[in-house]
Structure 1
């Protein structure tokens, strides 16, 4: 029957084309895809995603392919299908011709190509040259076909012309632009539907909103809960290059949900490159932030990206001078924004880092009753290669021009008007970890909205974090996860007032293919009675506890270091594979707002630069960071005192 059906359908398509009918094979195929998409959407809408989350899922919510104007301009040839195949664990060939494969597949992926100029450079490159009539576009087309250097020259000129409002008329015709964008977007949604397999691998629709006034990074990844039957009703929102307020993105999201009945969220990223603008204390008019604005931001942006290729945004030594682990992955990124406009530490740093934002949220809540920065945290790559890998020994670089080689670690990276970052400044991470009830769009998205998520800088550390009032040391001898949900709250939630001091149940298990753990810490933030923002880092459980103690300064002795520089290796002869504890806040004040999050630190391991040195004989510059202590960050648990 299936064979007969295919013959009939093929005959129908041939007859239709021969008769000059518009409803041919392509139209039939699109109708079939849409019918399937509607059925899948109905099943997703009816899915129950509440209850204890027992599935730990790993993914990347921030990946770029050849449909991003900058990624293609730097030479990447891998498109969305290559990206999906790679994330699912299949081997692909990178732009540079290297075989690329993940040791372990991911569970979900958001391809977040830039909304501005979606697919424009790739569409021009792919067009038959004799059909390109505009002289500028014809020159660009021919130049791009000369190779990577030609593509980069075209990209630079294109960006320059955008800034001068001097684009060719063929690129500014709104009717033609909408037609092109619609074709790319709906074609992409069909591909995403085909690769989405509930229970096995989840493919999401999304895009990157790329607002960058003055080079200040105010980007967001926009992620849909829905599939093709709904997302085809809109196009990705492009803010342009000016000072468009982010509230216009929220308007777009409001309209999408009103028109389609779907759901969508936004994920801020690279706050470390915003020059203080990502987490401001003021509202968009420069005055005190209002409760309405705070409420809207918290609702629209329930999670934030804390770590990725372009640096880590947890904290900075300038802000946290008593935290010896602050400043991971900040080298090179703490001097300027995306285009290297220089930062002013006192003025800018506080508005850029997650820990300070969480504290600012408490201060704004004390004044308005609403916390705008009540978000969970995730990691993702922001790779522009189509390859969602966060592994140090499998790092394919930020873009196709810096795939594995002997030169990339010491090359200056031109991100805008100035050269400032060196290749080794880039991180290989990170990943998003989600505690969900199932590997489906609905379950993963809903886990993000309730903030039951965490971030790692790459390793797949298994982390659980619950807050409650009556946990005991015996919890780990029975079903402690069940107890965590029954008598407490998980990461990302609010802990209601109780009796005594809160007790936190924490479990961290090493990546099965990775390094042992050094320690687990709890980071606490609060606003004191005089309104000052406060923080403290507690070492709550650590490895080799029989040998390591805290000194007079309260600091724990270092775990040690087994990294072999020449061999780019380490051993698990130090550290522990698992650390867990019930920790009680010894300084708890029931009258003060506070948040708590967990930071898990691994033992030292080699960075990707050492693998380049071993494989390619790369010559590393003085000052290159050769090793690191990778980590995981949980979403916070918040405590609010009883209202008087």
Structure 2
């Protein structure tokens, strides 16, 4: 009896140690960077500038109606660069989104479809091209998708990335797996992943710069600078603050191609007043030519 008791005691001890180590491992995998958001980091003081690929002029429009003309467009578009959109399988790029807005065809292929040739992938097209559009991917996780899908990234093998990619399937119904992928980073709230971003956050900063530059390039390529003036694309992003389950998001729309080198997100500050102050100082009140507005949406 004493021997059985001792074995049970050892098993219980082993279980406790295993659980303890497991919790430490999970804590390490989901560790966040220590930022209070009270002051914006120094790199946000860099002045807005025109990217090297932006055209500095355009032809005068031949069809001008200064009064009483309605334009139809979309100022809230997410692509595969947004972690929530990508979690549900979206593989459309900003370039594809603008082509669709201009009347082009958009494939409804999902990431899970891969390169399968045995299934016909449907496509869609608008009945009438839009007059304007803005791709507004989430600034908070511009880095998440690119780093989690890049095998050379230091955080590629982290638990959040493995869950996000679907390498690890949680024990729920298949229809709920996209939500699990979404939660893998949503649970971090306004904090950045230390495993993904590195101890100083530089990996995420550089990935965000790269994603932001791609968004600018896509908007520039879609903009119709001919005399037809048939389509206007806006450089834009979404500031996605979610406090206590409430979505207090803002779509930040820039009037032209002169924009800040990196967007302020809710991970940089959870105070919308800081966002407005930054836009005012860096754009609307600056001599750089940058102009911006923030449109709220709370759905």
Residue 237 in 1 paired to residue 261 in 2? no
Distance (whole Å) between structure 2 residues aligned to residue 266 and residue 163 of structure 1: 21
Map residues 93-242 of structure 1 onto 2, 5 A cutoff: 93-96=107-110, 97-125=121-149, 127-128=150-151, 134-136=157-159, 139-140=162-163, 143-144=166-167, 150-160=177-187, 162-163=188-189, 167-171=193-197, 173-198=200-225, 199-227=229-257, 230-231=258-259, 233-240=260-267
Distance (whole Å) between structure 2 residues aligned to residue 219 and residue 156 of structure 1: 18
Distance (whole Å) between structure 1 residues aligned to residue 185 and residue 156 of structure 2: 17
Residue 247 in 1 paired to residue 273 in 2? yes
Task: Name the structure 2 match of 1:91.
Answer: 105
Map residues 595-606 of structure 1 onto 2, 5 A cutoff: none
Q: Cα distance 1:190–1:250, how it changes in 2: closer, same or farther (>3 A)?
A: same
Distance (whole Å) between structure 1 residues aligned to residue 194 and residue 93 of structure 2: 26
TM-score by length of 2: 0.65
Map residues 516-555 of structure 1 onto 2, 5 A cutoff: none
Q: Cα distance 1:134–1:123, how it changes in 2: closer, same or farther (>3 A)?
A: closer
Q: Cα distance 1:148–1:261, how it changes in 2: closer, same or farther (>3 A)?
A: farther
Determine if contact 2:154/2:196 at 8 Å carries over to the other structure: no
* Local SS of the residue matching 2:247: coil
1:56: Cα distance to partner?
Answer: 2.4
Q: Deviations over 1:77-121 (max 9, x none)?
A: 112111111111111111353211111110110111111111412
1:218: Cα distance to partner?
Answer: 2.1
* Local SS of the residue matching 1:37: coil
Determine if contact 2:155/2:197 at 8 Å carries over to the other structure: no
* Local SS of the residue matching 1:56: coil
Q: Cα distance 1:144–1:200, how it changes in 2: closer, same or farther (>3 A)?
A: farther
Distance (whole Å) between structure 2 residues aligned to residue 51 and residue 184 of structure 1: 36
* Local SS of the residue matching 1:154: helix
**Larger relative helix fraction:** 2
Distance (whole Å) between structure 2 residues aligned to residue 219 and residue 34 of structure 1: 26
Task: Name the structure 1 match of 2:117.
Answer: none
1:240: Cα distance to partner?
Answer: 3.1
TM-score by length of 1: 0.32
Q: Deviations over 1:378-406 (max 9, x none)?
A: xxxxxxxxxxxxxxxxxxxxxxxxxxxxx
The one of 62, 87, 101 equivalent to 2:76 is 62
Distance (whole Å) between structure 2 residues aligned to residue 152 and residue 178 of structure 1: 26
* Local SS of the residue matching 1:212: strand
Distance (whole Å) between structure 1 residues aligned to residue 103 and residue 239 of structure 2: 28
RCO higher in 1 or 2 (8 Å CA, sep ≥ 6)? 2
Map residues 293-304 of structure 1 onto 2, 5 A cutoff: none
Distance (whole Å) between structure 2 residues aligned to residue 265 and residue 252 of structure 1: 11
Residue 266 in 1 paired to residue 288 in 2? no
Task: Name the structure 2 match of 1:459.
Answer: none
Distance (whole Å) between structure 2 residues aligned to residue 70 and residue 158 of structure 1: 9
**Larger relative strand fraction:** 1
1:251: Cα distance to partner?
Answer: 0.8
1:193: Cα distance to partner?
Answer: 0.6
Distance (whole Å) between structure 2 residues aligned to residue 164 and residue 132 of structure 1: 19
Q: Cα distance 1:216–1:100, how it changes in 2: closer, same or farther (>3 A)?
A: same
Task: Work out the number of aligned pairs and report it.
Answer: 228
Give ranges in structure 2 of 5+ residues lacking alignment.
1-49, 111-120
* Local SS of the residue matching 1:90: coil
Distance (whole Å) between structure 1 residues aligned to residue 289 and residue 85 of structure 2: 33
Determine if contact 2:164/2:184 at 8 Å carries over to the other structure: no
Distance (whole Å) between structure 1 residues aligned to residue 205 and residue 296 of structure 2: 26
Distance (whole Å) between structure 2 residues aligned to residue 157 and residue 183 of structure 1: 23
Determine if contact 1:220/1:269 at 8 Å carries over to the other structure: yes
1:194: Cα distance to partner?
Answer: 0.9
